[in-house]
Amino acid sequence: MTECHPVNHVGITVSDIEKGIEFYTSTFGLTLIMGPLVMETDDGLLGEICSDLFDYNFKKGRIAHLASANGTGIELFDFETPAVEKRENNFEYWKTGSGIFHICMTARDIEGMAQRIVKNGGRHRSKVWNVFGEEEPYKLTYCEDPDGNIIELYTHSYEQMLARRLSY
């Protein structure tokens, strides 16, 4: 049997690193643990990593690291050269290789959290779903951050939500 590994972090592109930090810290209470730092194709370690990872068009950007309550990280990227571009359709769920489909945060009061997301510049994208019927407290909904990155909200942990369901 293969060893189960924890999720370490998720990287998200934002159009303004300071606004991204403000959104994720004030909306979800994430803690800024490093940054924003400048990423440049120079001879420093971060520059070497960027040169190795990104294509020849990359010259400069910024990065910030945030931590959630359970230690999983959110890594924010703001690219200057080439400049960040917003996708026309931010919900291309059927395409691979163009980034993550969504991240999911746990919030017992997802209605209140969805309102907080909207108040902080995001969008509430779907209705709130009672996934096991109206009598059960297990709910989910979809929202967006100010840059259109999809954020799903669960009222319970991943294991709790899925352990109750054998199929849809």
Please state the rounded mean pLDDT for residues 41-54. 80
H or E element, residue 123: strand 123-124
Average pLDDT, the chain: 86
pLDDT band at 146; cut points 50, 70, 90: very high
Give the residue extent of every domain in the chain: 1-85, 96-168
What's the pLDDT tens digit per position in 90-138?
A: 777 667 666 677 899 999 999 999 999 999 999 999 999 887 776 678 8
DSSP 63-115: EEEEE-TTS-EEEEEEEEETTP---S-S--TT-SSSS-S-EEEE-S-HHHHHH
Query: Quick one: pLDDT at residue 99?
Result: 66
Q: Which two tokens stand for residue 25?
A: 């810290």
Higher pLDDT, residue 118 or 85: 118
Range 96-168 has CATH code 3.10.580.10: no
What's the pLDDT tens digit per position in 7-40?
A: 889 989 999 999 999 999 999 999 999 989 898 8
Query: Quick one: pLDDT at residue 30?
Result: 96
CA dist., res. 17 & res. 37, Å (int):
10
| First and final C-alpha spacing in the chain | 27
Q: 168 Cβ partners below 8 Å, 6+ apart?
A: none
